[in-house]
Amino acid sequence: QCVVLPAAKARKMHTSRRDTFEAVNAEPIGLVDYDTGSVEAEFQPRNQEYSFRPDLEEDVRIVKSRPGSNWTSSTSSWTRSPTAL
């Protein structure tokens, strides 16, 4: 048998072992039986449809910084303050 791990919670715990991946703070979400080919899912898939949200904020900027830098001087050229950083 082989376990199915949630992708966002799977971490590599060793360099070369075959059982190197483990779920961190989560349980496996399914089992695969190689002999029978059966798959047991232990989770409920979402029944939500994807919804486009055209009302997302467009006035967003990314500020790259490092320790000791004066990030306010790089933002002084903005004509108005962004809604989010």
The reply to whether 36 falls in a domain is yes
Mean pLDDT, the chain, rounded, equals 76
Per-residue pLDDT tens digits for 26-65? 888 888 888 888 888 876 667 777 777 777 777 777 777 7
Burial 53-82 (b: 16+ CB within 10 A, else e): eeeeeeeeeeeeeeeeeeeeeeeeeeeeee
- Given this model, what pLDDT does residue 21 score? 84
Q: Does residue 82 belong to any structural domain of this protein?
A: no
User: What is the token pair recorded at 13?
Assistant: 């715990």
Domain range spanning residue 12? 2-41
Tell me which of 49-58, 64-73, 74-83 is least confident.
Answer: 74-83
Q: Evaluate whether residue 51 is within a structural domain.
A: no
User: Are 42 and 5 a contacting pair, CB within 8 Å?
Assistant: no
In a domain, residue 28? The reply is yes
Q: Flag whether 73 is in a domain.
A: no
Residue 63 lies in a domain: no
Total of domains in the chain: 1
